[in-house]
């Protein structure tokens, strides 16, 4: 029942019998077919399957395993099938189980017995490993370029608002003022690492399993380098068992996808928070909000909420495939057919999320006034006061921290913010404090002072924006 690379198909399968039905006399139960069939989802591998078959046929001809006439017939049949698939007229049929046998069955209808030679020196085991690997490789490339677009969108927004002060938070409590541009640039860094994870995974997965055949390799004089090169791989895989049994390329891509979705989820959550009337830091247009069916005043950030939630699907897919693979003995088992749906779903969700996030980032408009007011609230420049005491009075930081705490307490009692605390009040804490201290107590001054590499000073933010623009150009 397993595909054998060395057994040339002698006769077409009799009507009503599966392609592998030579040793079978009965037909499978309907339930057997129901649980076995995968064409409903693996039809998404059609392009990869056709490309793989075309490269395989060319290699079989070049190595003398099949004749030029047979190869020509196979290539023209594959071209017809490609056209049918593109036109939406290809007959996907459940009775042929999966994409591989659907293509082969159609090829036989189109070109006759020569179709039976295509599967020489090949098995569905290396075929599916190849198709799926190519699909995941393309998904990594698509995702990588989507991440790049999102980064470019973030960069443009960050540049526009490189000096717009806003509160920086820890524990979601106002901590120190930062700029909106700096905050957005934090995500440019995260997405940059995400893109590099996909790129790394791509390098590792870029080996062709074609030619491993069922599991042990092939007795035919095949040229695995030739098919690997034709299909854009760096080299053929080096162990035939590993070739058909491994799915860690998909796991690695799903792990990268889950991490990326986690970053998207955090940014989405911030959009939700910033959009609340209580914060009022940003506005999203009607393009990315929805109304309520009962409360006419509402504008809800549904797209952001859905991006926030999608990571559940992504982690679900990663978990699903990990559990499928865990404990499977080498080599191929049908369990592995369950690799596709979670992977397809994960990348569908991630690609939609990346696109929606890029749309929202382009769409959002920050409210500089609201952010500036919030940036000054909550004694957010207390650290600047402490730093001033250290720098100007040569005070140990611990003492400065203590005195600043007392200043905050006094400001709280008087119901004022730090920049409005009278000098006499500060001088009761330390007589050496002068009027000059007020220069560091505004959010703008605080932000401008943080010129250390990677800090929030607008000049630093603009330098990082420039670096990223050069990198992404
Ligand atoms: N549809 C199968 C899958 O997705 C193809 C490989 C079948 N191989 C086999 N030995 N039954 O895994």
Which atom of ligand 1 lies at the shortest distance from residue 98's CA? 1
Helix H or strand E encompassing 265:
helix 248-275
Question: ω into residue 126 within 30 of 0, thus cis?
Answer: no
Whether pLDDT at 301 is above 50: yes
Q: What single-letter DSSP state applies at residue 428?
A: H
* Portion of the chain with pLDDT greater than 70, in percent: 96
Q: Which residues are catalytic?
A: 171, 292
Rounded distance from Cα 328 to ligand 1 centre (Å): 15
pLDDT of residue 248: 98
**Atom nearest to 97 CA in ligand 1:** 1
Cα of first residue to Cα of last residue in the chain, in angstroms, is 53
Tell me 208's DSSP state.
E
Residues in contact with ligand 1 (CB, 6 Å cut-off): 2-3, 38, 42, 98, 124-125, 128, 332, 334, 336-337
| pLDDT(7) > 70 | no
Residue 337 pLDDT greater than 80, yes or no: yes
How far apart are the C-alpha atoms of 163 and 143, rounded to whole Å?
31
| The ligand 1 atom nearest the CA atom of 2 | 10
pLDDT score recorded for residue 10? 45
Q: How confident is the model at residue 164, as a pLDDT?
A: 98
Nearest CA residue ID for atom 1, ligand 1: 98
Q: How far apart are CA 103 and CA 90, in angstroms?
A: 9
Average pLDDT of 446-468? 97
Using the predicted structure, report yes or no on whether residue 14 has a pLDDT greater than 60: no
Ligand 1 binding pocket mutation candidate from 337, 338, 343 (most atoms within 8 A of CB)? 337
**From atom 4 of ligand 1, which residue's Cα is the shortest distance away?**
337
CA 75 to ligand 1 centroid distance, Å: 23
Residue 346 alpha carbon to ligand 1 centre in Å:
21
pLDDT at 74: 98
pLDDT digit string, tens, across residues 338-361:
999 999 999 999 999 999 999 999
CB 370 within 8 A of CB 166: no
User: According to DSSP H, which parts of 37-123 are helical?
Assistant: 39-42, 46-62, 68-87, 99-111
- Does residue 298 surpass a pLDDT of 90? no
Q: Which of 128, 241, 331 to mutate to test the pocket of ligand 1 (most atoms within 8 A of CB)?
A: 128
Q: What is the pTM of this model?
A: 0.92
pLDDT for 28 = 82
Kindly state the average pLDDT of the residues 193-197: 98
Mean pLDDT score, 299-304? 93
* Structure tokens, 119: 């599967």
Is the per-residue pLDDT at 2 higher than 50? no
- Whether pLDDT at 456 is above 90: yes
40-93 tens-digit pLDDT: 999 999 999 999 999 999 999 999 999 999 999 999 999 999 999 999 999 999
């Amino acid at each position: 029942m397993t595909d054998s690379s060395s057994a040339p198909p002698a006769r077409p399968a009799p009507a009503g019998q599966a392609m592998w039905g030579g040793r079978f006399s009965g037909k499978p139960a309907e339930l057997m077919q129901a649980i076995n069939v995968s064409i409903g989802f693996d039809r998404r591998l059609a392009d990869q399957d056709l490309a793989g078959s075309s490269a395989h046929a060319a290699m079989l001809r070049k190595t003398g395993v099949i004749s030029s006439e047979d190869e020509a017939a196979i290539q023209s049949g594959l071209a017809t099938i490609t056209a049918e698939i593109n036109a939406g007229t290809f007959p996907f049929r459940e009775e042929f189980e999966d994409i591989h046998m659907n293509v082969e069955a159609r090829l036989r209808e189109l070109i006759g017995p020569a179709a039976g030679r295509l599967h020489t020196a090949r098995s569905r085991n290396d075929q599916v490993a190849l198709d799926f690997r190519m699909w995941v490789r393309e998904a990594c490339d698509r995702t990588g370029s989507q991440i790049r677009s999102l980064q470019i969108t973030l960069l443009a927004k960050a540049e526009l608002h490189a000096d717009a002060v806003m509160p920086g938070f820890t524990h979601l409590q106002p901590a120190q003022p930062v700029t909106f541009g700096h905050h957005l640039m934090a995500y440019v860094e995260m997405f940059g690492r995400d893109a590099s994870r996909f790129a790394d995974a791509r390098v590792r997965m870029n080996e062709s399993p074609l030619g491993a055949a069922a599991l042990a390799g092939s007795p035919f004089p095949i040229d695995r380098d030739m098919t690997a090169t034709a299909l854009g791989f760096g080299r053929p895989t080096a162990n035939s068992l590993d070739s058909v049994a491994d799915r860690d390329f998909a796991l690695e891509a799903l792990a990268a996808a889950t991490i990326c979705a986690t970053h998207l989820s955090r940014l989405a959550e911030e959009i939700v928070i910033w959009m609340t009337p209580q914060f009022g830091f940003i506005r999203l247009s009607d393009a990315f909000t929805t109304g309520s069916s009962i409360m006419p005043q509402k504008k809800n950030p549904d797209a952001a909420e859905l991006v926030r939630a999608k990571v559940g699907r992504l982690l679900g897919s990663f978990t699903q495939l990990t559990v499928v693979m865990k404990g499977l003995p080498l080599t191929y088992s049908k369990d592995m057919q369950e690799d596709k749906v979670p992977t397809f779903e994960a990348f569908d969700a991630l690609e939609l999320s990346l696109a929606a996030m890029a749309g929202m980032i382009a769409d959002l408009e920050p409210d500089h006034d609201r952010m500036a007011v919030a940036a000054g609230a909550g004694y957010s420049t207390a650290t600047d006061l402490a730093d001033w005491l250290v720098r100007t009075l040569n005070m140990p930081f611990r003492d400065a921290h203590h005195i600043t705490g007392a200043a905050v307490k006094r400001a709280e009692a008087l119901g004022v913010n730090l920049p409005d605390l009278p000098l006499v009040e500060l001088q009761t804490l330390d007589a050496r404090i002068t009027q000059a201290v007020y220069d560091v107590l505004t959010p703008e001054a605080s932000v401008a002072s943080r010129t250390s590499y990677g800090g929030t000073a607008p000049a630093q933010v603009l330098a990082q924006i420039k670096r990223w623009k050069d990198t992404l150009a």
